[in-house]
Chain A
Amino acid sequence: MSPIRIVVKRREKLPRRLKILYTIIAILVSFLIAAPIVAALGIDPILFYKYLIVGSFAPYSFPLTIMNLIPVSLCCISAIISFRAGLWNIGQDGQYIIGAIFLLWIASIIPNVPPPLSYLLVIILGGLAGGAWCLICGVLRAYTEANEAVTTLMMLYVASSILNYLCYGPWRSSVGFPETFPLPQNYQLPNIGPVTSALIALAVLTFLAWLMIERTRLGLEMSILAEGTRVIDYVGLRYRRLICIVMFLSGFYAGIAGALYLSYAAKFLEPGFIAYYGFSGIIAAWLCELRVEYSILSSLLLAALYSSSYTMQATLNIPSYMTDALEGLLLICILLVHFFTRYRIEIRLINARSKGDRK
């Protein structure tokens, strides 16, 4: 018998202050691990860290960070809604594309809707399309038990193909590049100072999501859904309908992300419109422990990574893959912290023979 034993034990619940502290440490550690990788690319790590911050929070780069924050944050809420209910919608990027496509289509049919109303339409059209796209997977899950993690991801590729088809085919603009005609002027959200007014929409939508999850019956029903079918029957919930509602709402937020981004930033569609904000949103969702009230903070970090990757690519010639790697490191560190705040590992030294002679 070996004298060393490694034991994993459950911890008592940690106070929130410590949890936040540990999360910050995880973020810093993931940045530290990145240093040798950056050095291996022949870049001074100090410069890398400098641009990591300057590239996202300096006066000239901060609007870019905000621009990225909105889609990341909405995709983060989309992930939180489905994950809280034990459903795994990981196709936010697909719903994001469909939301933008649908907005562009309807807006091109009715381009003259007056501004305050047209801004509302941006959100509603994007949400409905994204929700409907995700609802397909919800219905498949509810009625045929098809795994929603697989179907939502697959539907992402379908959405991406539709985007490519439209950009190269029927919606191609006369300019010649594979890009579509622009979104009508009335539908383009204006800036307030240096930042976009879509930020207000984000604040309102975040508050509504928080209200729904923490303060309403639907929020509780979602958590019960995550507990399994027998509890659901006991409480008397309509299981299939609930799955569909959750998937619709989850897609709704991701769809809004796409429509908003088209409206205040992209203005037209191109194959590169898909920026994988959805995957960043999923990381952000784990970073804030599926709590909507912290979702903007965690999304801000991910959004900052996006904008610093632009800056670094331009100034330091660091490939944007470096920030992808950093995102991955971040996720690993966060999951590790989640583990260690719930469990602790004890290493024990034991001398098995010391008292063996006693009867």
Chain B
Amino acid sequence: MRGRLLLPVMLVTAILLSLMVGQVFVTPADLWTGLWKGTGSGALTLRVLRGPAAFTAAGAGAVLGASGTVFQVLLRNPLAAPDVMGFMSGAGLAVVTAVAFGILLPLPLLAAAGGLLAAVVVALLSFRGAGVQSSLTLILVGIGVGFFAVAASSFLITRMPPQEAADAQRWLSGSLAARSWWHVLQVWGLGSLLFLVLALQVRTMALLELGDELAAGLGARVGRARYGLIGTGVLLAATGVAVAGPIPFVAMMAGPLGMRVAGVTQPGSRLAVAAVTGAIVTILADVVARSVVPGLQLPVGVMTGILGAPYLLWLLMKEAEAGEL
């Protein structure tokens, strides 16, 4: 119970920290004045400089965290996540392709198309004869598809003019620089919609976690439920990619970290906890990325890479000790 209170408190603290820390330190009092009176350094920070980035980070982290948990529950494997399995790289590739060929479509649409396409490719390539493959095959094939998407993105970037190429490169590593309230609106709007869809699917998700046969026995339409959940999971990840680029490791880390803090096990609460934890991780990673080198804003993805890789290694050690991998 205490853990469940801890997460919202940490989220609020993280947002506050993100608004205060940067090139110039802004006190909470200034922010308070800026919020209510609309004047002074607080108002500028809140409205233009740090507000949009903080709330985009919160939204992107939340959708990524929830997306990771969907796949971790479905594949019953903590290694399953849209970043590891190449869906986010696929979404990134779709956006880069559109930019390279001058196709003017909204980013969320492009990212969703790319993510779904990557998921279909992973699924098709994982089938070998009859029957469903083990989750490990799916994860490895996903890693391979991700490798290809990243290489193809780099290929396309080489053909762009230098400035555009630098921007695209930065975006592809996951960046919250120069976010506007339009990004906040996109990620919170689409995110809320997808969370509603997810809420309708939570019951079947709980059934699927019991195993396919048991779930079918309890009245779930296993195949349809699974495809529906995969779709929602990919769209959640694509929404995050559309506003902040393919930030690595947040989707993978958020769920297990949140479960540890809050001590929940039911799919519904796991999703909620993963969303909040994802938001916290992304915001804090961005704060560190902005302040670790004075006078320079590192992309947030660089920091989640540095923080997330040790987590993946720790997970591998732990699974090996448990004899599961």
Is this pair of chains taken from one and the same complex? no
